[in-house]
Amino acid sequence: MTRLQGKTALITGAATGIGRAVAERFAQEGARVVIADRDGEAATATAAAIGAGARAAVMDISDESSVAAAFSALAADGWRPDVVVANAGVQLFGHDAPAAELDLDVWRRTIDVNLTGTFLTVKHAVRAMLAAGGGSIILTGSPTGLNGEGRDFTAYSASKAGIHGLARTVAAAYADRGIRVNTVVPAYTETSLVTAISSDPESRAAIIGRIPLGRAGTPDDIAGAMVFLASDDGAFATGATFAVDGGMTTI
């Protein structure tokens, strides 16, 4: 398991959940990993748990100065990333709502982190990769950005739809300079982000009932797909959307 040997990967939102699982799997595959998270203490703990091939970076993806400073510091230390996973995001359960009921502040907070934050991560990843001659960028999408799955989550769904469009545009713009951009779309995946669903048996059963494989996703399910896209095995994949959703998009 050394498909990422010699590569350096930065994963945002990597202190917990899907991001942490991806960082752990990348490290197992031989990569050096940067645990980028706005929670510096949690990022440091995750990096320590992974071991010598990991380091923490405090990064608030909604703040360009924070993103730029993190990328600059990594480059100065010889940790310029070959792979960037733009995974960090928020879902404001109890606040996000159908459009007519949605507070503007909730919309702005969600877009600032999920869409603008992903854009800023991609922007500075592209700059770093242009200097290095190429690389792989992987975005975390959502079925809510593709279909009516998120009808009660207007801001979140819109932010994820924007991410899908961003990935295709950046892939087209930089393919001739060796930069690949793809989106992985998990179905309902049980992490701390979705405690509002996982702690409610009725809500959990309803969403799992729409997954043909009959179970929730796990962070490890997503990590395997991202290893492929980060590795040379995925060298001909760009601008694509990879559903890892237990068949959810087939119904």
Instruction: Please tell me which residue in 156, 174, 188, 242 is annotated as part of the active site.
Output: 156
Mean pLDDT across the stretch 60-89?
98
The rounded radius of gyration (Å) of the Cα atoms in the chain is 17
pLDDT band at 193 (very low <50, low <70, confident <90, very high): low
d(CA 127, CA 53) in angstroms, rounded, equals 24
Q: Which domains, and CATH codes, for the chain?
A: 8-250 (3.40.50.720)
pLDDT-wise least confident of 10-19, 69-78, 118-127, 190-199: 190-199
Asked if residue 94 has pLDDT above 60, the reply is: yes
pLDDT digits (tens, 9 = 90+) for 156-178: 999 999 999 999 999 999 999 99
Q: What is the pLDDT of residue 65?
A: 98
User: pLDDT at position 214, please?
Assistant: 75
pLDDT > 90? residue 190: no
Average pLDDT value for residue range 118-139 = 98
pLDDT mean across residues, the chain:
92
Read off the pLDDT of residues 75-86 as tens digits, 9 standing for 90 and up.
999 999 999 999
Question: Alpha-carbon distance 146 to 156, whole Å?
Answer: 12
- Whether 206 has a pLDDT exceeding 80, the answer reads no
Percent of the chain clearing pLDDT 90 (strictly above): 78
- Tens of pLDDT, residues 219-240: 888 999 999 999 999 999 999 9
Return the percentage of the chain with pLDDT > 70, whole number: 92
E-only strand ranges, 3-152: 8-12, 32-37, 54-58, 83-86, 135-140
Question: What stretches of 154-249 show up as alpha helix (H) in DSSP?
Answer: 154-174, 195-198, 201-208, 219-230
The question of whether 188 is a catalytic residue gets the answer: no
Q: Are strands 179-186 and 241-244 parallel, antiparallel or unpaired?
A: parallel
The pTM score is 0.92
Q: What is the pLDDT of residue 192?
A: 59
And the tokens for 20?
A: 């942490």
Res. 194: pLDDT tops 70: no
